[in-house]
Structure 1
Amino acid sequence: MTILNADTRRSRSNAAPASPDWKTRSVCRGKLADDFYSTIKSHKERARALCVGCPVIVECLNNQRQSDDAIYRWGVGGGLDPEQRRALELEELLGNVPNLAMARVLVSPRWLWRLRQLKAGCRSLEGIAAVLTQDGLLVDVVTVRVAVWWSGGEGSRMARLAPGDKRTWRAQLRDDYADVVVALHDLGARRADIAAYLGIPGTNGAKGVADVLKAAAARGLELAA
């Protein structure tokens, strides 16, 4: 196997302090800030498109996360929107720390086409990571997730259903992800955070998580009885 990322093997998201002048090298410097704080999808996409080619995207993401509030987050920062940064926080709560330098490799001109190809063909982040490993890259799932986000993809933890599987997302959440929902809840994660981690943010996502937790609690009471 050809290891293409020896220099970036464990560049953790909080590994080294950024150079004090990193902001002077940002692509967005001098651009209109409205897109970065807009709730309009097309505006956010314009902001993220700038981020992908920025030489200091890693420094920006680390800086943005340091300033994020525990509950409220605003704007696109470091190529991620607030829900994605919320999900990344829960990834790290589970011990899944992304290699951001490797994620940058995956969105470089050399590899971005391959990443987009795999996004279309694979049903899960685990599937994408497995194929990229076969391609010669040392990647883990959370690193792939960050790269998928940077490339404009949803990066959902919930796998796409197989052809012929007619379940709703609520049924899939209940059947396939109840264990991780309960585990994150036991670690102190809020329902909205768990929904963001799974890739189903918003009111509906939090309600779906609440239903899973309610069902799990009912099963626990039945077992105790």
Structure 2
Amino acid sequence: MTILNIGSRRDTTMAAPPQDWKVNARCRAEHVNAEDFFTPAKAGQARARAECSQCPVIVECLRATRAFDDGVYRWGIGGGLTGVQRRALELEEWLGNRPNLEMARLLVSPRWVGRLSRLRSVCGSLDGMVRALRRDGLMVDAVTVRVAVWWSGGDAPRVAWRGDSRALRVRVAELFLDAVLVLRSRGARYADIAVWLGVPRDTGLRALRDVLAGVGAEEAS
């Protein structure tokens, strides 16, 4: 999503960015192909997100784009995030996890982005990255680091697993059951929760159904 698609509708739950921020957006540059912000093609999306990662107003754009998002519908790249990632960020906030976007921007600055990239390759989870960055003296949390990883081109799944539905089911039941129940109580679909977990849709749906079926069986016994 480019700034041309950000309308006048405002989200009263977040501070509105100043109106003049758009003049500094990189998506206005002549070399940028606006279609890259809407294409389903991975290569086009990668080009769009690469432009966003260098944009001086990425924070303002993300806030404005999220104010323009409607319900479960998300379209295009906006504020450096895909529609799927913005949906996951909304579910994070349902759980009370609000990112510090200024800190996330610091993490993708030239001073820190190399460190962030190394941690992505050696840490097994977002929580592991948080612990390492705190040892570096940065007061960060998992959702802030998650946004920074997204901005730097990574996937940033919430759950670390070995790639099969059984392993995912075990991890969700052990570590994320309470969060899943809260999200379901808020009306989140299984597909939404799979997005929040950062796992493939079909594998996530199977694991979530199995976990919640087990919860129902325990309550009935």
| Aligned positions, number | 206
14-23 or 126-135: bigger deviation: 14-23
Q: Could you tell me which runs of 5 or more consecutive residues in structure 1 were left unpaired when the two chains were aligned.
A: 1-13
Letter in structure 1 aligned against 2:102: A
Correspondence for 1:19: 18
Q: Is the 8 A contact 1:103 1:146 kept in 2?
A: yes
For 2:191, the equivalent position in structure 1 comes to 192
| Letter of the structure 2 residue corresponding to residue 179 of structure 1 | D
Preserved contact between residue 95 and residue 182 of structure 2 (Cα < 8 Å): no
Whether the 8 Å contact between 2:166 and 2:207 is mirrored in structure 1 is: no
Residue 211 of structure 1, CA deviation: 2.7
Q: 1:94 matched to which residue of 2?
A: 95
Q: Could you list the runs of 5+ residues in structure 2 that have no partner in the other structure?
A: 1-12
Show the counterpart of 2:217.
218
Q: Secondary structure at the match of 1:114?
A: helix
> Hey, what does 1:148 align to over in structure 2?
149
After the TM superposition, which residues 1-225 of structure 1 pair with which residues of structure 2 at under 5 Å, given as runs?
16-30=15-29, 31-160=32-161, 168-222=167-221
Per-residue Cα deviation, 1:115-171 (whole angstroms, up to 9, x for no partner): 00001010011110111111011111110010000001111000255xxx9964344
Shift of 1:203: 3.9
Which segments of structure 1 move beyond 4 Å, counting only runs of 4 or more? none
SS of the equivalent of 1:148 reads: helix
1:174 and 1:202 map into 2 onto residues whose CA distance is 17
Relative distance call for 1:144 and 1:94 in structure 2 (3 A) is same
Counterpart contact for 2:61–2:79, Cα < 8 Å:
yes
For each residue in 1:74-93, what CA deviation from the matched residue of structure 2 results, as whole angstroms up to 9, or x when unmatched?
11100111111111001111
Q: How much does 1:175 deviate?
A: 4.5
Cα offset, 1:212, TM superposition: 2.1
Instruction: Give me the identity figure in percent.
Output: 51
| Structure 1 vs Structure 2 CA RMSD | 2.1
Under a length normalisation based on structure 1, what TM-score does the superposition of the two structures give? Answer: 0.84
The amino acid across from 2:123 in the alignment is C
Tell me which amino acid in the other structure corresponds to 1:20.
Q
Cα distance in 2 between the residues matched to 1:178 and 1:144? 22
1:59-117 deviations in Å (ceiling 9; x for gaps): 11011111111111111100111111111001111111100000000000000000000
The structure where helix makes up a greater share of residues is 2
Preserved contact between residue 161 and residue 168 of structure 2 (Cα < 8 Å): no
**CA, structure 1 residues 217+167, in 2 after alignment: closer, same or farther (shift >3 Å)?**
closer
**Residues 138 and 176 (structure 1), Cα distance of their counterparts in 2 relative to 1, 3 Å cut:** closer
Distance in 1, matches of 2:168 and 2:150, equals 20
Report the TM-score, using the length of structure 2 for normalisation: 0.86
> How far apart, CA to CA, are the structure 2 residues paired with 1:160 and 1:146?
20
